[in-house]
Amino acid sequence: MKLTNIKITLCGEGGVGKTSLATMFTEGIFKRDMKLTVGIQHFTKVIDLGNAKVNLVIWDLGGEHRFRFLAPLFLRGAKGAIFVFDITRDETFAKIDEWLDISRKILGNFPAILVGNKLDLEEFRLVPKDIAINYAKRRGFIAYYETSAKLNINVHAPFIHLARAIVGDIYAQDIKDFLP
């Protein structure tokens, strides 16, 4: 079976856990001493969706503002995106809108998933779950997940959900291409 490469991006402010989520998803480990992402980093994982096997290529961008100039390169060619905030830092939730706007400007319409990370720090939560869910619905996200990269809670679900949505779109596109 042909292995299709699918590029997806991880968007969100620095320190929300993007690299930790990607590392847990692709390598199954949580690195306590995670280094600040410098520029763009890539992770890959082959996933079996039953009807399709895809190589998910996850692009991760350093959260610091000085890397923002890389955003167009970072986003170009992506078939979908996961937007991550930290449930204990509400400013990271507020910034999702900016990331979404930049992304839509470059990619147009694409499947996007919202993730509230650091669920293990529930007692320090500042972003209520229903607020996040309503926001996700209003802004056209296809799903909202709460995760903990640290405790490996729900980490696979958003990646698999996004991959399924993208593959569904690609199939729809293939079928359309065959129509006269």
Tell me which of Mg ion, ligand GDP, none is bound by residue 9, counting a contact when its beta carbon lies within the kind-specific cut-off of 5 to 8 angstroms.
Answer: none
Tell whether residue 20 is a contact of Mg ion (CB under 5 A).
no
Helix or strand run (H / E) with residue 144: strand 143-147
Q: What counts of helices (H) and strands (E) characterise the chain?
A: 6, 6
Tell whether residue 117 is a contact of ligand GDP (CB under 6 A).
yes
Q: For residue 112, how far is the Cα from the chain centroid?
A: 7
* Smallest distance, ligand GDP to C-beta of residue 7, A: 18
- Report the residue closest to ligand GDP, judged by CB: 17
Residue 84: how many other CB atoms lie within 10 Å = 31
Contact 102, 54 (CB under 8 A): no
Tell whether residue 23 is a contact of Mg ion (CB under 5 A).
no
Tell whether residue 92 is a contact of ligand GDP (CB under 6 A).
no
Q: Contact residues for Mg ion (CB under 5 A)?
A: 18-19, 37
Q: Contact residues for ligand GDP (CB under 6 A)?
A: 14-20, 32, 34, 37, 63, 117-118, 120-121, 148-150
